[in-house]
Every structure is written in C-alpha cells, then in structure tokens.
Chain A
Amino acid sequence: MSLRSDLKTWLEENLTGEFECLRWRGGPGDEDAYPELRQKWEQKLGVAGWIGVGLPEAFGGRGADLMEIVAFNEEYARQGGPGRAGHIGETLVAPTIIAFGSSEQQQRFLPNILNGTDFWCQGYSEPNAGSDLSNIKTKARLVNVDGQAEPSWVIDGQKIWTSLAHESDWIFVIARAVEGSKGRDGLVFLLVPLDQPGVEVRPIRQISGSSEFNEVYFSEAITASSNCLGEAGDGWKIAMALLGFERGTSTLGQQMMFRNELNEVIELANKNGASRDLELASRIAKAHAGLEIMRFNALRMLEGTQDGSLSNEAMISKIYWATWHRDLGELAMEVMGRSSEVLQDDAFNRLQKLFLFSRADTIYAGTNEIQRNIIAERALMMPREPRGND
C-alpha cells in the first residue's frame, strides 16, 4: 500500500462525524474557520501518524521522500482535508529542531508537534524589521531568577505579522542577545511559551476583516535557558535555515489546496457562462497550466532540503506560487462577474476570501521584491544591494 492510498482510506473513515464540517475548510484565506475543531483534528492526524511524514523515522516521522510528500499533500487536498492548523510546527519548527536542537530539545518538543498538541507561531518581523529582517531590536538577556537553579532568558520588544499567534502555545523568536550588536551578529533563536504574563497578543484586523496576523508584545517575558536553539550568536544562521524550509517543502500542502480553489472557479465559470468568454476561458486555462507547472516545479526543485538549503532553481518557488495565487484571486472575481461585489449573509464566500487574503501571499515570507533580490544575488550571482550602513 502506498502512503497515498493509506491516507485516502484513512480520511474516508475519519473525516466524518464531528469533523465532517471541516471538509474543504480552513485553507489559505479561510484560516478563521473552526479553529478549535481544527486543532482537535490535528490530534487525530497525530495519533494516526500523519503529522511529519517527511521527517526521518528516527525522529518520529515516516521518512517519506519528496515524491511521496507531494502525493500525500495532493491526496489530502483532493479529499477535502482541512487546512493544517499545525503546519508551522510540523514544517518549520520540527526540521529546524532536528537540524540545530540538542537531543534533549528534540525529545522535549518533537513529540508534541507530532501528536498535534503544541501549536507554534513565528516571531521574526518587527515594525522596523520587515524586508530588512536583521534590523531586529527585540532584546534577550540571560538572568538568574530567584529560586531557580538555571538562569532564564528575559525578552523585551515587539513582533508583528505573527500568523496564528492567538491560537498558538509557543513562539520561536529571534532576538538581540549581545548589547550593541548590529545586523546578523549577536542574535539568539529562542523557543518561548506564549501563555505567560510577559506576553501579550493583539490581533491585527486585515484587509479581509479577519485576523490571522497579530502583534506580539514581550515585556520581561521569560523562557528557560534550555529553550535556546544553538548558541547565543547562532540566531541568524538558524533563522535563515528555517526560511529555507519555508521557501521549500513547507508550503506544499498549501499549494496542493490551490487545486480545489481552481476547481471551484472552473465549476462556477461553467455554471454562470463565464467559460464562454474566451478571454476568461484562456486565463483559466493558463491558471491550470501554471498549477500543473507548480507541481512539477516541486518535483524538480525541492529535493534535498533537509538542512534548509535550496538549489538555485528552488529560489523561484515562493514568488511563483504567491504570484500565481494572487492572480487566481483576481481571476476568481472576474469569473464571478457582478455577483463578486455582493456578500451573502454578511459574509465573504470562499472566492471573495481568496481574492482578499491572497494579497498577503506576495508580501509575507519575503515580499516578491525580496524574492527577486534573492534570485538575482544567489541564483544569478549578480551584485548585492548596497546597504545604508555599508
């Protein structure tokens, strides 16, 4: 039996009953759908061993290769599997802890990611550190706390654009650990529990009206010294490796869900007659072509990313899927025609959500402009951008 057919059978038997309403829900742009039930669903996936199929067996995964991971995600999306509430832990934190964590850290954090009980978010961007990520100002200092044997990290500062912080248990944070250090030096990569007095999460109301993103404030927030990945000073290296995972296989699940959205556009076009507008028909055909290419891109490019490093070809992955998805949102509205303007029952339908939320795709996880710099400088070896502080 293949991973694909095992998963198909399992979903048919388990995506039922109380979970039935999750089918086709919670994908990109629809992440505010049934947040609690989707976390419960993660636990069901975890018990059945469906979280982290691409991780090595020694760390609790199934050691699936790239072809199998693509097939797994494709089948999950095809069966209407709900958007994965735990994808940040599974696809970003787990491989990073495997690559850089101590065996104690691996034993402590991996099981709760793989059984779907710990949910994670990403503390990278700050108000003045967006594209220029190394300009972060959040500070971390190691201090002795009364009554504790080990010193603790104390964190002060602010993170922003933190996806799903309001539904998470842990946040990984890059912070400045060396007083007076600048840029990439002196940073530390910390794993910080969110449920504590020193952390405040404030949702950001977005273009879509919903709030996937948050501001996270740290005022003397605390985490144990054993929750530091690598050494103080390794922060930038680890942060970049994690971004490699983010630009690599981590978004495969999301990409495979694009197929469902495109199918919805095709169905609608046939129903409302937009398919007979040859300009729209050929744009839909082009979207289909682009999606087939996206799948083949993954097979060609994303192999061998266990350490987060990417081939030159793979550097196109993020800008390509983000731009494709944003274009699909625009196309969906044109296919809807006049009705695109109208809300039913005071709520956006899936395609309206897609249109609005996909504006974020070309901004988060490295804007299209930053992606072009990365491609030009690392894949094409063109000169690096001048820095104001060079």
Chain B
Amino acid sequence: MAYPFNEDHEMIREAARGWLLDWHDGGKALERVSVSGVGVDLDAWAKFAGEQGFAGIAIEEAYGGAGLGALGRSVVMEEMGYALFSSPFFSTCCLAADLLTHFASEAVKKVYLPKIAAGEISVGVAYEGLSKYNETITGLSPYVLDAGHCDYVLACVASDNKFELYLVPSSHEGLVVTQLNTLDRSRNLCGVEFNQLALKDADYCGASDVVLFDQVLRIAQASLASEAIGGAQKCLDLVLDYTDQRVQFGRKISSYQAIKHRCADIFVDLQTSRSSAYMAANIADTSNLGQAHEAALIAIAWANDMYFKTAGETIQLHGGIGFTWDYPLHYYFKRARANRTLFITPQQAYIQLASVIGLDTGINIEAQSHGASQLVGGQI
C-alpha cells in the first residue's frame, strides 16, 4: 500500500474505477452528455451517489457518511476525473459539504449532511455577487456549478466582513437560473440571480469571516487537483496506446526520442501533481486550516497547470486524430481549460502562496483573500 493510502482507500478506488469505466463506455458517455446539453448525467449520478454510496465518502460518520475525509474523497475525484464523469459531486460533496461542515450550526448539519451523504439532495454553491437588502438576498452570482439541476442553492451572502450562508430550494420563484452555453459541455454552469428573495424563505445555516471562508473554499477547490490527475492519467494512457500503434518511417512512433521524452516529462508532471493532490488531502485531514490552505494553494496551482499542459501535449502527440471531435481528448482538454479559471487561477494561487510563506509582496493578505472570494470566475 503506497503512502498515504490504506486498504480502505484501495477498495474505494477499485469500486469507483470499475463502476465509472462501465459508465464511460469507451468514451460514448462523453458524447451522450455533450449532446444532452445539460452537462450532467442525473440517472448515473443517482446510482453513483445513492446505490453505490460515494456521495458520503468524506462526510463524518456522525452525519451518515463513510468518514474517509478529504483523502478518501480525493480517490473518488481522481477516478471521476479519469472517466470525466458528469455529476454534481464536486458542488455538493466538496464545496457545499465543506462549507456546511465548517460553518453551519449543529442543527442544520444534522438535517442536511445526512441527505447529502445518502445522495438524496444535490447543492450548488453561489458565493459571489450576493448581498443583503431589506431582509432579502439580492444580486447575481454569475458562475454557479450545477444550479441548473440541483435541489438547493447554498447562497453565501456578503454581510459586513463575513459571509452568511443560506440554503434555498432551487425551485424558489425568487431565483432566476440561466444555464450558460459552455466550451466544456461536460458540466452544468449557470448564472443565478437572486431577485429580492426574502430571508424568511431561506434556511439560515451559519456565518463565517471572509478569511476562514476563503480558506475552506480553497481546500474544497483543491479536490479538483485530484480530478486533474485522473484526467491527465487518461490523456497519458491514450497517448501511450496511440503512439504504440501508429507507424511512420517504418517504426512505431513511440520508439522516437522526440515522443518518449515528452511522455517522460508528462509522467514527471503527473507524478508530482499526484503528490500535490494527495498532500493537500492528507493535510486537510490531519492539520489545521492554515496548513491545509497552504497545501490547497499548492495543489490548485500545480495540478491545474499540469492538467492543461498535459491535455494540450497529448493532442499534439496524437497528430491530426487528436484534433477531431470523435476522439475523446478534446473533452479532457476543455475540462482542463475550464478548471484553470473556474475559481482562482494557478497564477493567483501562487501570489497568495507567496504571502502565506512570508514573502512581502506588498499586497494585504486579508484584502487579497476577500478579493479572491469576490472575484472568482477568473474575471479579474
């Protein structure tokens, strides 16, 4: 058993991989989701989350989860990344579950976490552009994952120097959800407008100061580093297969050093990204928020850079076939691209990390992290 995993993790990995490979069906599922136009496979999600029990992987046992923490979750995220599974797992079981676990009252946790763990509800998280006005929530949250199909929206409303968290049924008439037509068609991304939604219609969960909120958001975001290593592993597997079959000038192209050395570089990037993702998850489970936040920034920057670079390189190494719609690489390329700017970018993560490790960048850390929370979506 390779550090930092134990036998439980390996069992979960086997189970998730097998199920997801069936779902993937040699890439047919990716095209099916793409054609559907909704960026999610809800039937598959119901089975994966409910019957298979993966939704509760990281949630504490006291709330009906498996209690395998961020490290257990990273295993599932990695396998979902490999298959490019279209589901609200990241929104619901990473973002929403972590925010509720850290900031919600005990009473709220007892109601909602078990439902998330059982796969009974899905939650999209709106954490930018929302404020309180005359006892209502108002504003536009321009990029909310999974709002087009989820059962609840977790509204994170800026109020003084903190965020107040409210759960709102997504069917509420005070919400206008507009699904966005996206480059990456394997995802459901929406604009969500809160049209003076009365606070009394929302379920108040708790509050957090902006710095802690930002830290928890980063730690949840870091689970996308695991998705990245899964996706990049798939890209590498595809290129190793392809170059082993393609013959030019009378030789398999995999025998050319021009190809071998680039695959070796991908392998180095991929393995170091594995370390970054596993380290972030391991530290999230075993250390304080500050250390977990630092490790999260490392994983976000390192693995997102690697995934996009790897997906691009593997298209190049496939030659013309890599440029076609019929070959699955473009789905991974588009997911890798989207992940770079969905939240803070690798470059922003490095600048934040610079402050965390004691570099005097001249940027106020609190203002910076507040800014990051306000400006997610890469719109800076």
Contacts and interface: CB of A to CB of B under 8 A. Distances in A.
A369 interface: yes
Contacts of B358: 266, 270
A375 B354 contact: no
Given A266-B359, A270-B360, A297-B271, A382 B276 contact: no
A299 B3 CA distance: 7
A300 B278 contact: yes
Interface hub of A269, A276, A316, A377 (most chain B Cβ within 10 A): A316
Contacts of A182: none
Contact of A297 (B275, B297, B359): B275
B2 interface: yes
Contact of B268 (A296, A300, A316): A316
Contacts of B279: 292-293, 296
Contacts of B353: 285, 288-289
Interface string B249-275: 000101101011101110110011011
A316 B272 contact: yes
A380 B240 contact: yes
Contacts of A372: 260-261, 264-265
Interface in A119-177: none
B76 interface: no
B301 A296 contact: no
B62 interface: no
B260 A285 contact: no
A45 interface: no
| SS class, residues of chain B in contact with chain A | helix
B318 to A, nearest CB: 15
Q: In the complex, which range does the number of interface residues on chain A fall in?
A: 35 or more
Contacts of B347: 282
Interface string B294-317: 010110011000000000000000
Given A289-B350, A376-B260, A376-B263, A281 B359 contact: yes
A286 interface: yes
Interface majority SS on A: helix, strand, loop or mixed? Answer: helix
Contacts of B302: 289-290, 293
Nearest to A262: B357
A377 B254 CA distance: 10
A270 B359 contact: yes
> Which one of B254, B354, B362 has the highest number of Cβ atoms from chain A below 10 Å of its Cβ?
B354
Interface string A349-387: 000000000000000000001011101110111110110
Interface of A: 266, 269-270, 275-276, 278, 281-282, 284-286, 288-290, 292-293, 296-297, 299-301, 303, 311, 313, 316, 319-320, 369, 371-373, 375-377, 379-383, 385-386
28 contacts: A275-B359, A276-B360, A278-B351, A278-B354, A281-B350, A282-B350, A282-B351, A282-B354, A284-B354, A285-B350, A292-B298, A293-B275, A293-B276, A293-B279, A296-B279, A300-B274, A300-B278, A316-B271, A373-B257, A373-B264, A375-B264, A376-B260, A377-B260, A380-B240, A380-B260, A382-B243, A382-B254, A383-B254
